[in-house]
Structure 1
Amino acid sequence: MSLNDREIDRPLGQGTKGRGSRKLNLTLNSVLSTVVALVILGSSTAIALRERPFRHPAPVAVATVEPAENGTESDATSARTVEAGSSDAPAEAPSQPSGGPRILKVQPGDNPGQGAIVIRDPSALGQNLRVAHLPDRDLIEESDTGPLPVRAADGRRPFDVYARPWSGARGARVAIVLGGLAISQTGTQAAIEKLPAEITLAFSPQGNSIDRWMQAARRKGHEIVMQVPLEPYDYPNVDPGKNTLTTEASAQENVGKLNWALSRTTNYTGIMNFMGARFSADAEAMQPLFADLGKRGLLYLDDGSSARSVAPELALKNGVPFAAADATLDANRERGEIMKKLDELERTARAKGFAIGIGSAFGETVDAVSAWVSEARKRGMEIVPISALAIDPER
């Protein structure tokens, strides 16, 4: 066959000249295309798999709570998986058992299997509101008279753990404390049911079924304090009740009487005086009381009835969180007069930033306070628990 015949048999456009270079160019182009495709595929995969802040919420802390033995299974279950930041989660983190710094597992909401370990300051942890009626066993000291409040081994105080959360805003704030709970069964039930959760309730150690009423109040979200009877002038003609602390008693006797009152129930942030104009003016008599409160991590609320009270100075000296009332709301139990006192309390709060009112859980007081709180909120007033307005020497 001639050369021209071989040319006819070749595909159109191909010749013998430059054949090897064209094959090399085709091979390089194929490799380059493959590499580019792999790079694009890898980049797309990385982008698809990476975490995007605008797609995923911030990690939510999931912690566990060990409820007291008398808690129900439903209480324990609800406390076991509380997601901070969920719409129905309480504002507080669960309290943790004692024994040093707490380790919490932080889990992303979309992928619970991938979590990180963070260490939290235990003193910053309050009690989960879903189990607020259950005592924190790390804050209990057993005694002959019953369970006594005590600081936990990790430094947490009842004042911190049992405090009701609030916004922390700097606006005008009012705290209202109503006492005499557990004296009248029907009155106590009405107060717990009708009063807004922000109202602090004070329990009388002379009352009945205090543990039951404490749990009912805490389930409703109320912060609570214990009333302690102190010697008034003209004692015993004016008698605050059983185990009144007196100026004539020894320090040991008075601390024993105080501990009796403290052991009547638990889950409270501190105490407030019941009467006590004479006792509260005697620094020597008051010092053992404040030393015990400081050791236990409890607040002292002064009802403000005595200008001679030495409580502010002793609270600072002994590291006791302290608050003093600005007004008694129901010295006159007529509804209109109570409303006037509440309005005065609001004016005080707007003038100095906060105000504290105290009263008793009379039906008239409960109804007036409930109505006033509803209207005060609309005027931008924040109602806070008493712990929110206490001066705390440890902070």
Structure 2
Amino acid sequence: MRYLLCLLFCLLAGVAHAAPANKAYMSIIIDDLGQNPERDSRALALPGPVTMAIMPDTPHATDFARQAHKAGKTVILHLPMDPADGPYAWHPGVPVEELARRLDSALLKVPYAVGINNHMGSRMTAQREPMAWLMGELQRRHLFFVDSRTSAATVAAFQAQAQGLAQVSRDVFLDNVRTTEAIGSELQLGVELARKQGSAILIGHPYPQTLEVLERELPRLKRQGVELIGLEQMIAERGNQTMPAHARHHPTAPTGQITGKE
């Protein structure tokens, strides 16, 4: 009897600590920040734990990173990758020593960054050796990685998983079509995905139309049963696992179409 009572207690304790079956979490990243103070400030004012992805080769990168950190927002480095160009951009064939120098310089331009995501990168994120090196370097620096999934051929998240690096992948691009109607539809798609698979990660840009939709709709998420959370919490929720919709992008799977514009 004592054994049965103990077993019942353990089962009840497990239920009490289990995550709710109907959880629906969402994280939102705003890319391409650091270019325009007015747009940046509007992005920074979005309600909730919206992540600020700051490009290193922009005139206001460092100042805005400091502002965002002071405001309590998560800051990540939006690292340019091929076909992006500029002094920080990663390209296939560039020696690893130069890639390391560009990463160092980019991180200096974006203080308080706790992770990185790729800006463009359809060719670069398909390169296994540089991606493996990057994930090892991020592990050493205690930074996480977000695969923007600008290409169906990406191996970035897979290489991060292989090294046990904290990582997540984007589910929805909000503003491939830059109208409030289309952006609203993509946000609703994110809501539906969050309800279906438990979480969704959305990426948008500081376009007026995107900011207008987010300013209006983010306060309404809870009424739709969705909780907006930060990227660090999202990584913990996903437990570094690939979402079902991303499984076809495993490097041994057939290559599909590009999943988002660059």
The answer to whether TM tops 0.5 is yes
**8 Å CA contact 1:173, 1:355 repeated in 2:** yes
Aligned twin of 2:61:
210
SS at match of 1:259: helix
Aligned twin of 1:329:
174
Q: How many residue pairs end up in the alignment?
A: 219
Alpha-carbon distance between aligned partners in 1 of 2:162 and 2:178, rounded to the nearest angstrom: 37
Alpha-carbon distance between aligned partners in 2 of 1:312 and 1:189, rounded to the nearest angstrom: 30
1:279 pairs with 2:124: yes
The structure in which a higher percent of residues are helix is: 2
Alpha-carbon distance between aligned partners in 1 of 2:110 and 2:126, rounded to the nearest angstrom: 28
Q: CA deviation at 1:212?
A: 2.4
**8 Å CA contact 1:334, 1:364 repeated in 2:** yes
Deviations 1:144-173 (A, max 9, x none): xxxxxxxxxxxxxxxxxxxxxxxx964200
Q: CA deviation at 1:271?
A: 0.1
Letter of the 1:328 counterpart: F
Which segments of 5 or more consecutive residues in structure 2 lack a partner in the other structure? Answer: 1-17, 241-262
Match of 1:177 among 15, 25, 29: 29
Give the alignment's Cα RMSD to 1 decimal. Answer: 1.7
Which one scores higher on RCO, CA 8 angstroms, separation ≥ 6? 2
Alpha-carbon distance between aligned partners in 2 of 1:368 and 1:169, rounded to the nearest angstrom: 30
Aligned twin of 2:145:
300
**8 Å CA contact 1:283, 1:310 repeated in 2:** yes
SS at match of 2:200: strand
Structure with max Cα Rg: 1
Alpha-carbon distance between aligned partners in 1 of 2:165 and 2:75, rounded to the nearest angstrom: 17
Which segments of 5 or more consecutive residues in structure 1 lack a partner in the other structure? Answer: 1-167, 233-238
1:363 pairs with 2:208: yes
Deviations 1:337-393 (A, max 9, x none): 100000000000000000011011112111111211111122221001122222556
State the identity as a percent: 25
Match of 1:353 among 194, 198, 215: 198
Aligned twin of 1:255:
100
Normalising by structure 1, we get a TM-score of: 0.53
Alpha-carbon distance between aligned partners in 2 of 1:281 and 1:266, rounded to the nearest angstrom: 28
Runs of 4+ in structure 1 deviating by more than 4 angstroms, as ranges, are none
Normalising by structure 2, we get a TM-score of: 0.79
SS at match of 1:304: coil
